[in-house]
Each structure stands twice: as structure tokens, then as C-alpha cells.
């Protein structure tokens, strides 16, 4: 990754953070839009379209509605796509690495987003007190301050995430655990995913931890049965 590519991704992170909820919400922060943008910056537009669509399906139901708490879909799409493209170039099996990065980025972005909202609430309270004291320009200054903080936070979390992606890619490059899956490995992955999906379909409802544990156990059982044969 070159310097201008990293700078472009950091700038993109600032824009999509603002679009996701603090500002216009034009939907350019969705993974299906962010992915192709990341791919174009990194010189792999087709891969960007592929991974953007993949992360969009994962995060399709996540929308900034009301006071709902949700993973940061914009950051997940940006860093997940970057991890997939950089991983492919380094010989790392991209699906495992990209999904892991996207999941971590989504969680971290959610935590930082909550902190930003709390800071905005304090800013709103301060603006209200200034307006009550007769400062007519306080709302404009408060909005500008909140948007500036949002852009800075989006840029900083993207820069930090890219650092993690770069370091992880360097660390995993050449590792036998990060290489392409063979046919047996694909069967193991498919069995585990089938088990998890089956546990969810069977109606375990909101008990997500139980669902995942039972799904993983079912997937492992399927693998062991396949190996014993």
C-alpha cells in the first residue's frame, strides 16, 4: 500500500463516518458502495465490488434508525475490503482474514460511535445553555464542532484499523494457517457454517451464544463423522 492510497482510505473513512449517521445519510457509507471505492483506491476494483457486495449481505439489516445500537457497517466494509485485497496480494486466504477484520472493525466502530454520541449530547446541552444566555451563533458553532469531531474520529479509526490490517497481513503472510483452503478444509468450513445456520433455523431465538455453541458442535460432529468414514 502506497502513502497516497493510505491517505485516500483515511479520507474515505472520515467521509463515510459522517455519512453513516452524524450528517447527510446519503447511503454512500454502505459496504456495497464503500467496497468498490476501496477497490478502486487499491487498484482492484473488481475485488472491491465483490467484497462490498459480500459485506452488504452480512450487514444488510443494520441501519442507523433511532437510538438503535449497531455495528459500524461503514468501517467494517472499508477495512474488511482492504484486508481482503491486501491479503490476496500476500497469499492469505481472504475470506477468513477479511471477515475477521470486518467483525472486529464493526464492534470497535460501535463502541466509538457510542462515545461520540455522548460527546454530542454534552455539546447540545452546552449549546442550549449558550442560546439561553443570548448567543445566537452557538448552534452553528456546536454543529461545526460535532461534525469536525466526527470527521476526525472517522479518519483516526480508519488509520488505526489500516495499521492493524497491515501488521496482521505481514504477520500472517507465509503462514500455513493462512493459505488457501484445500478440499478437506472447505468441507470443514462448510460443515461448521451449516451447523451454525441449522442451530439458528431451529428457533433458538435470541440466545445467540447458545446458538453459536450448538452450531459449532454440530459442525464439528459432521466433520468428525466425515473423517471417520
Please report, in tens digits, the pLDDT of each residue of the chain (229 residues total).
Answer: 888 999 999 999 999 998 887 777 788 889 999 999 999 999 999 989 989 988 888 777 766 666 667 788 899 999 999 998 998 877 777 777 888 898 889 889 888 888 888 887 888 888 888 888 888 888 888 888 888 888 898 999 999 999 999 998 888 876 655 555 555 555 655 565 555 555 555 555 555 566 666 666 766 665 565 544 4
Q: Is 94 exposed, middle or buried (0-12, 13-18, 19+ CB in 10 A)?
A: buried
Task: Report if pTM > 0.75.
Answer: no
Angle of CA points 196, 202, 206, to nearest 5°: 80
DSSP symbol at 173:
T
Residue ranges covered by each domain of the chain: 3-178, 183-228
Amino acid at each position: 500500500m502506497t502513502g497516497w492510497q493510505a491517505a485516500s482510505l483515511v479520507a474515505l473513512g472520515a467521509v463515510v463516518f459522517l455519512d453513516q449517521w452524524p450528517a447527510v445519510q446519503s447511503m454512500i457509507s454502505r459496504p456495497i458502495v464503500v467496497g468498490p471505492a476501496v477497490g478502486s483506491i487499491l487498484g482492484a476494483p473488481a475485488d472491491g465490488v465483490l467484497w462490498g457486495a459480500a459485506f452488504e449481505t452480512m450487514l444488510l439489516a443494520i441501519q442507523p434508525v433511532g437510538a438503535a445500537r449497531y455495528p459500524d457497517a461503514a468501517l467494517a466494509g472499508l477495512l474488511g475490503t482492504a484486508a481482503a485485497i491486501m491479503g490476496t496480494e500476500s497469499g492469505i486466504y481472504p475470506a477468513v482474514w477479511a471477515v475477521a477484520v470486518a467483525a472486529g472493525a464493526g464492534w470497535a466502530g460501535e463502541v466509538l460511535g457510542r462515545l461520540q454520541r455522548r460527546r454530542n449530547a454534552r455539546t447540545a446541552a452546552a449549546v442550549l445553555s449558550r442560546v439561553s444566555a443570548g448567543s445566537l451563533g452557538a448552534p452553528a458553532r456546536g454543529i461545526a464542532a460535532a461534525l469536525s469531531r466526527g470527521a476526525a474520529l472517522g479518519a483516526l479509526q480508519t488509520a488505526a484499523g489500516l495499521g492493524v490490517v497491515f501488521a496482521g497481513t505481514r504477520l500472517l503472510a507465509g503462514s500455513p494457517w493462512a493459505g488457501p483452503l484445500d478440499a478437506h478444509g472447505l468441507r470443514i468450513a462448510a460443515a461448521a457454517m451449516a451447523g451454525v445456520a441449522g442451530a439458528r433455523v431451529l428457533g433458538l431465538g435470541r440466545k445467540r451464544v447458545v446458538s453459536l455453541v450448538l452450531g459449532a458442535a454440530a459442525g464439528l460432529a459432521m466433520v468428525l463423522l466425515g473423517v471417520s468414514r
